[in-house]
Amino acid sequence: MHIQMKYWKKMSAEDRLARVHKALKENVDFSVDASLGYPASKLDEKVFANESLFLKEMPVLQTYIANPNHIGCHTLGTSEFAFRGTQEIEREVLNMIAVDLFAAEEDNFDGYISPGGSEANIQAIWVYRNYYMQKHQAQLNEIVIVASEDTHYSIAKAANLLMLDCLTIPVDYQRRTIIPEQLEKLVLEAIQKGKKYFILIANMGTTMFGSVDDPDVLTRPFEDYQLPYKLHIDGAYGGFVYPFGEHENRINFTNPRISSLTIDAHKMLQAPYGTGIFICRKGLIHHVMTKEAEYVEGWDLTLCGSRSGANAVAVWTILTTYGPHKWFEKVSILKMRTLWLCKQLDRLGIIYFREPEMNIVTIQAQFIPPAIAEQYNLVPQKHNSQNEWYKIVLMEHVELEHLKDFIQAVKSHQGQLA
């Protein structure tokens, strides 16, 4: 990966602390300001003391105590003036991710730090459903979601909430790739059933396999038949892994077919849980503006409404602690450990799936006895007797010593069977 960033820079601890202090000073300070109209305050100091020297050196924890509300979307129009300092930090984060990491044009995207990837996925489908209904006068039964069978369950949740049908594309059992013939068959059947408008979901790292969908394969039949579609990338898991490799990556905004993407910061980035990211091209998010939220400055364009500004500060702090080069190094080390594990499994004749640029290894369950799976906390594809796969995720805490112990346990099991 050629790393040349405009917004994403590594910063010293002193500079990070000074930047967050500046942002908090620009926010309303509920300790001293006569802010009579907000149904909010800092965290209760009887429970959350804020006087320790420890907290004064921890910008993220200070922000949690200050408790800024980032309601709304800060890339479009106006926002609540009382929290303008930390809102600017959120915009800085979005520039780092949208422009530097996913090649969006400057000032040509909208987005926000969401309470997780599930909401960000639902937000995307909500935007496109409303887009079709408002721009094309589409009926609900004319709009359909299209996603692979390995897609995250939040897509099914979105279909349920938004009252949309969802087409599930079969994937190749071993390679976990979309089967083009099955996709085209589903599309033609959908047309016959009166479907006219399509919301496509491509995965950048599925939850169970880490598999990555080829957007060109997914969009091809819609291009061939000249069908209206919007393409959303679910990079909730892979967004901070897949782009950091030597491969050519076009799963970004240089691909004109991609309209939006989701990333989770609480997975690979190790931000606090409840930290996702939604980014879309300009001219889309206004389709979900809630005009009834008249008391909110700028109204509201998000599914959640009120949300913690501390999550944005947490993501900003992580990104500026590492910088792009150190993050590339961290991800590269995890990929090296993943490759080591795969080589050991190859030597043992164990069948598994691994996307080359990802740090997930999913092993066929027949090779792993339940006792070993339980000992090492492997995650099954299904929590029942029909389970066919176990996955290992090479997070930072998973070191070679853990992997060596796991491989030795599997070897011993094979020796008992011989």
Residues 367, 387: Cα–Cα separation, whole Å: 12
Task: For strands 360-364 and 352-353, give the pairing.
Answer: antiparallel
Query: Phi, psi (5° rounding) for residue 323?
Result: 75, 165
- Looking at 43-179, list the stretches that DSSP marks H as alpha helix, in order from N- to C-terminal side: 53-56, 59-66, 84-95, 117-135, 153-162
Residue with tokens 């809630």: 290
The per-residue pLDDT for range 284-332, each reduced to its tens digit, is 999 999 888 777 777 899 999 999 999 999 999 999 999 999 999 999 9
Query: Phi, psi (5° rounding) for residue 212?
Result: -120, 125
Which tokens sit at 45? 């100091």
The fold for domain 66-322 equals Aspartate Aminotransferase; domain 2 (3.40.640)
Each domain of the chain, given as residue ranges in start order, spans 66-322, 323-417
Query: Measured on CA atoms in the order 40, 42, 43, 46, is the torsion positive or negative?
Result: negative
Which tokens sit at 274? 């409840």
The per-residue pLDDT for range 76-92, each reduced to its tens digit, is 988 888 899 999 999 99
Task: Collapse the DSSP code of 120 into the 3-class scheme (helix H, G, I; strand E, B; otherwise coil) and give the result.
Answer: helix
Please tell me whether the overall predicted TM-score, pTM, comes out greater than 0.75 for this model: yes
What pLDDT does residue 4 have? 73
342-377: b or e for each residue (b if 16 or more CB lie within 10 Å)?
eebbeeeebebbbbebbbbbbbebebbeeebbeebe
The per-residue pLDDT for range 131-158, each reduced to its tens digit, is 999 999 999 999 999 999 999 999 999 9
Instruction: Write down the architecture of domain 323-417 according to CATH.
Output: Alpha-Beta Complex (3.90)
Could you tell me which residues come within 8 angstroms of residue 351 by beta carbon, excluding any fewer than 6 positions away?
174, 363, 364, 367
